[in-house]
Chains A and B, each alone.
Chain A
Amino acid sequence: MSCVVFPHVSWSQFPYRKIMLDLRARQPIFYVTDTLPEWELLPNIVKPVTAEAVALECRRPALAIVTHPYWIEKAASLHPERLLALIPDNTFEEYSELWKSRLAHCVLIADLFGSESESLYLEQAFKKEAVLLLRDADHLPSEGQRESMQGSSAEFEVLLRQAVSKLLTDNVSPVWATALQQHTLVQHYSEIRKAVGPHETASFLLAVYEYLLKLPDAASHLLESFLHAQQSGREDCIRTHYRFLSAIHAQNDELREAIDAYGVTALSADDRLRYERICEYAENGRADLAAAWLLRENDDLVGALARLHGAYDSEATDLKYRWLVESSRWEEALALSGAAGISGKAEKRGHPGIRDERLLNGYARKLRGDRHEAIRFFLEAAELDQDAIGLIARIKSEDAAIARLRRNMLETGESEGLTVVNGDDG
């Protein structure tokens, strides 16, 4: 059984070397690279392989690891048993549109998603249950004193190793590690709060982690973060801070308070419409829809979908379908549309339903790296809607992005004095 790494840098710069080498049971480790380092730089169990040759060298690896979002489809195309996405800070073309869309795919299909950036980590924590922060808690609010916690810098590595190990050997989902780490983060921010007092960022993050863990003090910490933000002159703190109170209340089944809190923040035209709809749902006895919307408005997709679990009426399924599509959860959307016959409801003329279904299938296949299958579905969609051709054309720019990544790896590798060999083995 083997392991493949799709990295963003050369082996000598790879930040997770230690973890890789500790997975001793998973030999060999194929490292996708165009550079061939001097032999003494590469341990015996690590074998370099080009992107073109990797599918031949290891079919269906036990584990694939991706440290740059651009690699996700390639990694998925090997159909690994387990997939990890571990995304460091400052990767190549970070936060470009393509980077972001690929990152979303990583989150969707990885068994565990990790990020060095806490804000990115938190964003995904609301979309996925198995997430890890790839750093120890060593940063403070900007106004506070910076304090580095060097001594415990291996904590997350230990956790990551254990989570991966349990996943591979016992099939245990890493959500336990997520919760464990989040408890540590609660403790961390509590200590900061003790040191600096109620704070717009520290108290806010504390509230968020308490929310994720369903701990009771989330509301009070959120309110104090809002008050501090407001006193510090943060414009829009109503939306950036106060609004989250509506999610906390919704999570606690305090629907009236949740609606009121959201209503206060509903200042834009779109928000007002949404608020009105939420009120109507509540008034019509659809607390589930009202709560789901409130959670969704706070980007808690996992929570929102959970609220709709078990509701099979057309309103709930339409909403679930829409959110699944908006968040690129194609496979779930397909399963739902098949079960609920959603696509069949579309008007005959123009066949948006059939086109949608073809597109969903195409996206779902693409997510799993089945490029040819995806293209076939997009072609079927293109017969109904010419614009779908663009989805196929776009793949070229995605391939070009991988080529740029590889060149970047070569260039940074060259600056390290690594020997470059011809990478076009394919």
Chain B
Amino acid sequence: MGTVSLLTHSFLDGYNRDYGRIFGGGLERYIADLCEVIRELGEQPEVHQLSYFEPFETQWNGISVFGYPYDFNDVPEAFAKMAERASGRLIYASCIWHPIRYREGSLGICHGINWDSSLYPLKVKAGVAGAIQNALDQLSGIVSVDSHFQTYCRSACRFERPNQITVIPNSVDTAAFVPKPITDRGPRPLRVLYPRRLSIERGIVPMMRVTDLLLDRYSENIEIEFAGELVRGSSIGDSFEVWLDAHPGRKSISHRTYDFETIREAYGNADIAVIPTVFSEGTSYACLEAMSCGLPIVATNVGGLNDLIIDGHNGLLVPPATNAIYQAIESLIGDEALRERLGNNARRTALAFDKQLWKARWKRVLADYLG
């Protein structure tokens, strides 16, 4: 049995020094799933990750995990250290926007473009282009979770093999995330769900603004749920708490944190899901889960969301602007038939992203890579 080492900036919860659990984000979940695929291929996965605090070495689910403290300003150096120690074939599972010195011929993963904020300086974007070119020059292949990154590489970089980038969109367990039967829903206000971490890039600001507008219009006849983690003490965390506390309509607003399992409840109780990403989006797990649960989606046309939603077919796709998001939600509120049609199509679309398909795609890539 050979070893496959995944190098990443995050896996176990290094932010809170809780090395017994993986951090509740998409990247970490992805790595856990990928480890499962590697094991199914008869290989032994290892994870090497960066640590905010002390170095550590532990086991999680039978996987050895190594934590490395690092200098925030020198991520490439940190990855080089991890690569030295890691055994077997390497998969660089994050930080592709950094100028990492890759072990030649390794595999890389891009979880989505995170430098597509319209406000980022050109100098930053140019730097990233250089880093991506660097990755293409040194890695044998890159798995991308969306077409967005693939298109970016084709337009900003130079590489010889057209299949050097393989798109494997993220997945959803369509058996676990299922639509809630209509009979289960009692009479209650319409619920709009924001099933994301509360962060700037994921659109918390437009969502708060949309909430203000919705409550202006519908007051007690609507509920808005924010279902995601909040970083306490951060600027956005404090702002959200202040906004909620001061809101005259606070009875109609709720905030709850769910885990991978219980998030299904949130989808089950919702009528509309909103994915108002402003920038930095690969293939959103939240979007896929909501689609799999048969919810009509209002999503912004950012990053990999464009791979999932076709406007008017399985959701409404709008620019990342408050008024556009609000109007889309409004059109769904007033039209139950539209909600049902979009929701049904969303569910069908989700089937094409089922986890088994994702695993099969990865197995093909890994089979090639591991020879």
Contacts and interface: CB of A to CB of B under 8 A. Distances in A.
Direct A–B contact in the complex, CB atoms closer than 8 angstroms:
yes
A412 interface: no
B246 interface: yes
A380 B323 CA distance: 11
Contact of A372 (B119, B200, B236, B246): B246
Given A376-B212, A379-B205, A382-B205, A392 B200 contact: no
B246 A383 contact: no
A389 interface: yes
B322 A383 contact: yes
Contacts of B322: 383
A371 interface: yes
Nearest to B201: A386
B287 to A, nearest CB: 22
B241 interface: yes
Nearest to B243: A375
A24 interface: no
A83 to B, nearest CB: 21
Given A393-B236, A396-B238, A379 B246 contact: no
A395 interface: yes
Interface in A247-272: none
B124 to A, nearest CB: 15
Given A372-B248, A389-B236, A390-B235, A383 B209 contact: yes
Interface string B234-273: 0111110111001110000000000000000000000000
A396 B230 CA distance: 15
Contacts of B246: 371-372, 375, 395
Contacts of B212: 376, 379
B235 A372 contact: no
Given A379-B208, A379-B209, A386 B243 contact: no
A16 to B, nearest CB: 31
B206 interface: yes
B200 A393 contact: no
A392 B205 CA distance: 11
A399 to B, nearest CB: 8
Nearest to A392: B239
Interface in A368-420: 371-372, 375-376, 379-380, 382-383, 386, 389-390, 392-393, 395-396, 399
B242 A392 contact: yes
Contacts of B243: 375, 379, 392
Nearest to A378: B239
B242 A375 contact: yes
| Residue among A372, A380, A390, A399 facing the most chain B CB atoms (10 A cut-off) | A372
A386 B119 contact: yes
A371 B244 CA distance: 11
Contacts of B206: 383
A383 B279 CA distance: 12
A50 B318 CA distance: 47
Contact of B239 (A372, A376, A389): A389
Contacts of A371: 246
A4 B78 CA distance: 60
Nearest to B212: A376
B205 A393 contact: no
Contacts of B119: 386
Nearest to B204: A389
Interface in B125-165: none
A393 B209 contact: no
A383 B210 CA distance: 12
Contacts of B209: 376, 379-380, 383
Nearest to A350: B119
Nearest to A372: B246
Nearest to A380: B209
Contacts of A383: 205-206, 209, 322
Interface string B191-215: 0000000001000011011001000
Contacts of A376: 209, 212
Interface string B93-123: 0000000000000000000000000010000
Contacts of B239: 389-390, 392-393
B322 to A, nearest CB: 6
A382 B278 CA distance: 12
Interface in A300-344: none
A382 B208 CA distance: 11
Given A372-B248, A392-B243, A386 B200 contact: yes
Given A376-B212, A380-B209, A383-B205, A389 B235 contact: yes
A371 B239 CA distance: 12
Nearest to A397: B238
Contacts of A372: 246-248
Given A379-B209, A383-B322, A389 B242 contact: no
A395 B242 contact: yes
Given A379-B208, A383-B205, A389 B241 contact: no
From B205, B206, B236, B239, name the one whose CB has the most chain A CB atoms within 10 angstroms.
Answer: B239
A238 B248 CA distance: 55
B129 to A, nearest CB: 22
Contacts of A395: 238, 242, 246
A70 B143 CA distance: 55
A392 B241 CA distance: 9
A393 B242 contact: yes
A81 B336 CA distance: 49
Contacts of A399: 242
- Most chain B beta-carbon contacts within 10 A, residue among A376, A386, A392, A396: A392
A396 B239 CA distance: 8
A67 B212 CA distance: 34
Nearest to B239: A392
A380 B239 CA distance: 13
A395 B246 CA distance: 10
Nearest to B235: A393
Contacts of B242: 375, 392-393, 395-396, 399
B26 to A, nearest CB: 22
Nearest to B238: A393
Nearest to A381: B205
A389 B248 contact: no
A386 B208 CA distance: 14
Nearest to B119: A386
A390 B235 CA distance: 6
Contacts of B241: 396
Contacts of A375: 242-243, 246
Interface string B163-204: 000000000000000000000000000000000000010000
A390 B242 CA distance: 11
Q: What 8 A-B pairs have minimum CB-CB distances, sorted nearest first?
A: A393-B238, A392-B239, A396-B238, A393-B235, A371-B246, A393-B239, A395-B242, A372-B246
19 contacts: A372-B246, A372-B247, A375-B242, A379-B208, A379-B212, A380-B209, A383-B322, A386-B119, A389-B235, A389-B239, A390-B239, A392-B238, A392-B239, A392-B243, A393-B235, A393-B236, A393-B237, A393-B238, A399-B242
Given A379-B205, A392-B239, A392-B243, 5 more contacts: A379-B212, A383-B322, A389-B236, A392-B238, A393-B239
Interface of A: 371-372, 375-376, 379-380, 382-383, 386, 389-390, 392-393, 395-396, 399
